[in-house]
Structure 1
Amino acid sequence: MNGSKPKLVFISPVFLFPNDAGGKIRSTNILRGLKGGAFHVTLLSAATPEQARRWSKEIAGVCDEFVPWQPAPHRPMWRRAFDLLGSLPVNVANDRTRPGMDAVRKLAQRPDIDLMVFDFVHSAVLRPAVLRARSTCFTHNVEAEIFARHAQQARGPHRRWLWSSQHAKMAQFEGDALRSFDSVIAVSERDARFFKDAYQVAESYAIPTGVDLDFFSYQDPPAVDAATPPTVVFTGSMDWAANIDGIQFFLGQVWPAVLAARPEARFVIVGRNPPASLQALARSTSNVEFTGFVDDVRTYVHKAHAFVIPLLVGGGTRIKAFEAMAMGCPVVSTAIGIEGLEAEKDVHYLERDDPSAMADAVLRLLADGALRDGLARRARQLVEERFGHEKAARVFEDICLRTLALPAAAQAA
């Protein structure tokens, strides 16, 4: 350990700004909470000079030192298809770039570095064979579980084979990678137990899902009136397969029943890069709007009467659920959409998996102001008491300090 504070390096294979995905939001909030605490924090990530200049203020707010590497050129889909033949899962292979590997190796050789935090298990592909410093992996999901769920939901034997093949590769990679770290930090107790039981990870810990309670300020749900017609909202990156599957499910099996009862209802989907196929599906129904990327989701959520999380596939925890609860928008979710979050159904949110039951729950929220207000206020109280991002950062910091204090035998294991 060197100097007055131990030095922590946080390695992100993607540039964290803008915060347009759940993983970026979570990592940014953790870093923001770590800065000024027990560690001197270095952020090491892919970033172009233009990104570093444009987001310099935000970068300075999350670290004491920023070390970028040049991102690899975008690879067309036809070239990425060849990764299907390799031993690595396709999303891991995409993160294995020479500039990234060189940057991690160079920093890892510095004698003053005490702890290296690899963000997402994918970033383990950048790790050198030997590390001087202690190491931990910050896992946002059980990645193999996501592939397994895609295989279960896939239509047709070829798609099932593809997802099953990727699941097998990810299970092998994920287990091997996580066992190579001194500790693993999960985003739920469920995931932490899985890593211990399935992968024999000895030091596996969980942090709470944190939300910025000041930024995502509370407002009572709006009344349904001429100025604010009944509105349902979803937020999330629309280039992520799980979100695409979930919105296909909602548009195809839930939304028609909502419209049949409330033809004036609106569904607003807030998120970057919606695929053409999903936009075509939306055009085949009524009152559906894709916003694309927006700088601030709060305006859209505060104008809505229900926030839906219709996910059939996923892993880790969905930070969007607590953001909606913090803002006062009542949540309707599938079990997978709310998985890993310590909230009580029918008290803090409505949980429905069956399409007709989900439609009924949405319609209840559109019709019943007292139900909206009750769910919203109880949910906000829950996140205030237990899930502020500062608390999550303090737990994260404590795990990092415990990792530094592990006996030498545990480090060598």
Structure 2
Amino acid sequence: MKNDNKTLRILFLSQRFLFPQDTGGKIRTGKILEQLNKRYRITVISNVESPKDDPYLPEMRRLCEKFVPVPWKEIPRYTWRWYWDIFKKSFSIYPVPMLNDYSPELEQAVLDELKNGSYDLAICDFMQSTLNFRRVTGIPKILFQHNVEATISLRHMKRSRDPLFKIFWWLQFRKMFYHEKRESARFDAVIAVSDLDKQRFEEWYGLKNVHVIPTGVDTDFYAPNPDVQVKKQIVFVGAMDWLPNHDAMLFFLEEVFPLILREEPDVKFVIVGRNPAPKLKKLVQNYPHVELTGWVEDTRPYVNESAVFVVPIRIGGGTRMKIFEAMSMEKAIVSTRVGAEGLPLEDRRHIYLADAPEDFARDVITLLRDADERTRIGKQARQYVYENFRWEKVADVFASICEMVVNQKNQSRIKSEAMAETG
């Protein structure tokens, strides 16, 4: 029995409040929900921290028919309390990220809403939130996986130089691998954001129900501005409280940027992103050519005025939405292969790919000096994402997966009921 789209009711758990949209995960989830809300009846449940989140509450009307806020207070990052909390959680059988995103109040809100409402489908956003879904039964369930989380822990372990950190990340990898495998298997379908992630889910965890959606971009919002004067400037955009971004900046500042300064001593580097760690703030003080903005309302002015956009990510999973956003703005991009992992991009056609510090620095210098090459690759990049990766197309794929899961579950239920009657 096929569901009428207009009556399909979906409960969506997003542990993190979706505004401001200052991380790749928030943007991806928010843009998909905005499109799904035009087709289905959506209820979103999220933690909300007052008064910080209160000004953004009206924005939720674009994403859902009903919003259920759950009061929550996050421990401030880089405080002794925050470090102590991580230390205590490291002794649990669960990985730290899963414990960070669990709360009894959030879990109960999900159960209460499902009990009181008539829903066709329940979606859990991110692996870290699955503990809040562990008692959800009797309804089709989808896990929206923005990364293969165990991959991130594994890469942290491989990059760590300190023996204690290496042990910590090895234990986190083992825990995340076990729980990611177990929790993913409890869902009727898993949605991944790249073919590579799908392959890992299948090979590592033996999953047979993994579906892929492409990464999207708002090509109207992230558009080139021909009136802006481009400076001799490099830019990086990303939430600095996400460890792969923090590691990327340490790598770039310590190993790549000095090589660039040797050839281009007047170049400026701008790091745009919230919550930079004390270690990064201290490192930036050694470079008068580096600006650390912290959180900004709009990243586009910084990107528009920069000649080169860099993505020196060495640790991570999923896909980097910031790359598609920069491509949509006709920017020349230099990225590591891990940074561009999972995106269907061609080296020297859509993006420059380099891993070694010397190669990365050389490509940045080449693009700083060659305006024609920046224009060529920028225009090709913009055309490519405009034709293939607009959010409307991404939402179409997501919606088809939702309807398929609901229909399969209904058909299975009808078949079981028929067999029970004949038996």
Compute the TM-score of the two structures, normalised by the length of structure 2: 0.92
Secondary structure at the counterpart of residue 235 of structure 2: strand
Q: Does 1:238 align with 2:240?
A: yes
Please list the CA deviations of residues 176-231 of structure 1 after superposition, one character each: whole Å capped at 9, or x if unmatched: 0110000000001111122122212221000010011111112359666xxx3x10
For residue 291 of structure 1, give the secondary structure of its aligned residue in structure 2.
strand
- Structure 1, unmatched stretches of 5+, are none
1:252, 1:125 → 2: CA distance? 38
Query: Partner residue of 2:213?
Result: 207
Q: CA deviation at 1:254?
A: 0.6
Which deviations, in whole Å up to 9, do the C-alpha atoms of 1:8-45 show, x marking residues without a partner?
Answer: 011011111001111111110111111111x2111111
Conserved 8 A contact 1:332-1:352: yes
The amino acid of 2:308's aligned partner reads A
Alignment of 1:1-400 (within 5 A): 4-37=6-39, 39-48=40-49, 50=51, 53-72=54-73, 74=75, 76-110=82-116, 112-219=118-225, 228=231, 230-400=232-402
Answer yes or no: is the 8 Å Cα contact 2:111–2:136 preserved in 1: no
Note the C-alpha offset of 1:294: 0.2
Compared CA separation, residues 105 and 55, structure 1 to 2 (3 A): same
Q: Secondary structure at the match of 2:211?
A: strand
Residue 53 of structure 1 deviates from its aligned partner by 4.2
SS state at 1:46 partner: strand
Paired residue secondary structure (1:233)? strand
Q: CA 1:2/1:241 → structure 2, altered by over 3 Å: closer, same or farther?
A: same
Q: Deviations over 1:342-396 (max 9, x none)?
A: 1111000000001011101000111001110011000001100111111111111
Provide the rounded CA distance (Å) in 2 between the counterparts of 1:236 and 1:3.
36
Alpha-carbon distance in 2 for matches of 1:249, 1:375: 25
Q: Is the 8 A contact 2:6 2:41 kept in 1?
A: no
Alpha-carbon offset, residue 133 of structure 1: 1.5
User: 1:72 offset after TM fit, Å?
Assistant: 4.3
Provide the identity percentage.
Answer: 37
Work out the CA distance in 1 between the residues paired with 2:227 and 2:166.
41
Could you tell which deviates more after superposition, 44-53 or 101-110?
44-53
**Residues 209 and 114 (structure 1 numbering): CA distance in 2 closer, same or farther, change over 3 Å?**
same
- Checking the alignment, whether the CA contact within 8 Å between 2:49 and 2:73 is kept in structure 1 is no
**How far apart, in 2, do the equivalents of 1:396 and 1:347 lie?**
28
TM-score by length of 1: 0.94
Compared CA separation, residues 370 and 3, structure 1 to 2 (3 A): closer
- Partners in 2 of 1:300 and 1:284 — Cα distance? 22
Q: Which moved more, 1:388-397 or 1:299-308?
A: 388-397
Q: Cα distance, 1:405 vs. partner?
A: 1.4
Inter-partner Cα distance in structure 1 for 2:361 and 2:6: 57
| Backbone CA RMSD of aligned residues | 1.9
Does the 8 Å contact 1:221/1:376 carry over to 2?
no
Q: Is the 8 A contact 1:221 1:328 kept in 2?
A: no
